[in-house]
Amino acid sequence: MPAWTTPDPIALHARAGPDRLACVDLASGRRWTYSAFDDAIQRAVAVLEKHGIGQGQRIAMLARNSADVVILQQAAMRRGAIFVPVNWRLAAAERQAILGDCDPVLLVRDTEFDTAPPAGCAQLAVASFAAMVEQQAPAPRRALPEADRPSIILYTSGTSGRPKGVIVTEANAFATAINFGVIGRVGHDSIFLCDAPMFHVIGLITNLRPVLLKGGTVLISAGFDPGLTNRRLADQALGITHYFCVPQMARMLRDHAEFAPRRWTSLVALFTGGAPNPAADVLWWLDQGVPMVDGFGMTEAGTVLGMPLESERIARRAGSAGLPAPTVSLRVVDDGGNDVAPGEAGEIWLAGPNITPGYWNRPEETARAFSDDGWFRTGDVARRDEDGFVTLVDRRKDMFISGGENVFPAEVEMALLAHPDIAEAAVIGIADERWGEVGRAFVVLHPGRALDPAALAGHCAARIARYKVPKEFLAVETLPRTASGKIQKHVLRGLK
């Protein structure tokens, strides 16, 4: 039986709806119909051929969001090369480590990011690449590579301090396009605003693949700016229907002076992921007339869970990450790999075409990530109710044991975030002579508020078991986060 070849919806829409608007680069004002976008990608294929880049070779990109990122990735896909977007927010040494690990033959970068390529690696400025695409004749059409070959390597943000390359195949990306497309009710008239960084799964895959699969339009922003994003969401001429962000971005939107959700008349919903959303925040957004549709995904699996879009159902399940996406098989298991009863906490295990085949250059870590019968171990702890809705509890590795009882920091953090003085919170376990471990809470206070440990302890005790209440409360100006908004607890553990 022949292997499944890579799906190419842009090529399809270039013929089925050539004049439909595919992409707008908001920073430059450039616009592409599907016909023009398909042509630009094929011109970029010719550029790659001219540089001698073939199947399996890596192309690294160190750049802010632009349509050129998408064009290069799609050209690499058609050529059979592997696209590696590098997090430009990392320190130079961290970027060098990633480049050393993936060993690219070409580095395409914004000139502001001065990173030396590895030996034998050519480099191009993004502007030069774009000019070459404009001048080059389109390459002849060739057969697309197999869909299960590595197509993208996404390096994790490093919540544990050591990024690793997650392999994404085109079969994986296509499954995510289907999964989010169904959950988010994406159609041919959908218009996505993408300002999440394209070195992250949300920016490069979740924000692009579902809408391009359906023949809709993607508006690409160079980056997130709360004032600008507020204005764009309210701009009826843009007509944005879908916006995906992490909870910290949503908080910045609502705190901005130009926040006017009643003017977001085209928006189907505000989709959030990357970190759990407190139920109180979800309900607050519903009160503003905006469905906040929380979900759960990961670099290794793309879209996994999502809430329904109906406000009444969101309100009843506020705090849940929703139901499994259509191509996802999900189990919640105990330490022995046995399925737990509804309502009990266990680790999420996944299977399906959206799941990564493994980590680049790390066969041992790949082997550890999967059970003997092929289930991907996420390391995330959750509870599933009788109706199948899944609520995240915490990362398994973040759990600590106090007096013989399991404590999940995320549960404590949710309790803290319900206090009016607290803007952000993070909890870790620390050694304690009497209890083995106890909680230490790092809190960011709202402006003008003072730290009152006794009041916070009393507030928590009214909401969670006493053994879960932190024994220490420390005020900090900010919490260390990855580019996707996840708290870096390994950094907090190094603080005194």
- According to the model, what pLDDT value does residue 486 have? 76
Residues 6+ apart with CB under 8 A from 24: 30, 31, 32, 67, 217, 218, 219, 220
> pLDDT digit string (tens) for 24-68?
999 999 999 999 999 999 999 999 999 999 999 999 999 999 999
Q: What is the secondary structure of 260-284 as a DSSP string?
A: -GGG-TT--EEEE-SS---HHHHHH
Q: How many CB atoms lie within 10 A of CB 428?
A: 20
Using alpha carbons, select from 381, 353, 352, 356 the residue that is nearest to residue 369.
356
Return d(Cα 215, Cα 372) in angstroms, integer: 40
The SS3 of residue 46 is: helix
Domains of the chain: 9-390 (3.40.50.12780), 399-493 (3.30.300.30)
CA-CA-CA-CA dihedral for 384, 385, 387, 392, to nearest 10: -40
- According to the model, what pLDDT value does residue 298 have? 92
- According to the model, what pLDDT value does residue 39 have? 98
Determine contact, residues 251/272, Cβ cutoff 8 Å.
Answer: no
Tokens of 410: 């995320």
Return d(Cα 351, Cα 358) in angstroms, integer: 13
- According to the model, what pLDDT value does residue 162 have? 67
Q: Residue 85: what are its φ and ψ, rounded to 5°?
A: -80, 130
Tokens of 224: 């997130």
Distances (CA, A) of 112 to 50, 63, 118: 26, 9, 18
Which residue ranges in the chain fall short of pLDDT 70?
1-2, 157-162, 404, 483-484, 496
Strands 323-324 and 302-306: antiparallel
Is the four-CA dihedral 192, 158, 445, 275 of positive or negative sign? positive
Q: Where are the alpha helices (DSSP H) in 80-223?
A: 92-102, 126-135, 170-183, 201, 209-214
- According to the model, what pLDDT value does residue 482 have? 74
- According to the model, what pLDDT value does residue 242 have? 98
- According to the model, what pLDDT value does residue 408 have? 79
Strands 82-85 and 58-62: parallel
- According to the model, what pLDDT value does residue 83 have? 98
- According to the model, what pLDDT value does residue 467 have? 83
> pLDDT digit string (tens) for 332-377?
999 999 999 999 999 999 999 999 999 999 999 999 999 999 999 9
Return d(Cα 116, Cα 102) in angstroms, integer: 14
Tokens of 236: 């009826």
- According to the model, what pLDDT value does residue 274 have? 75
- According to the model, what pLDDT value does residue 165 have? 96
The SS3 of residue 183 is: helix
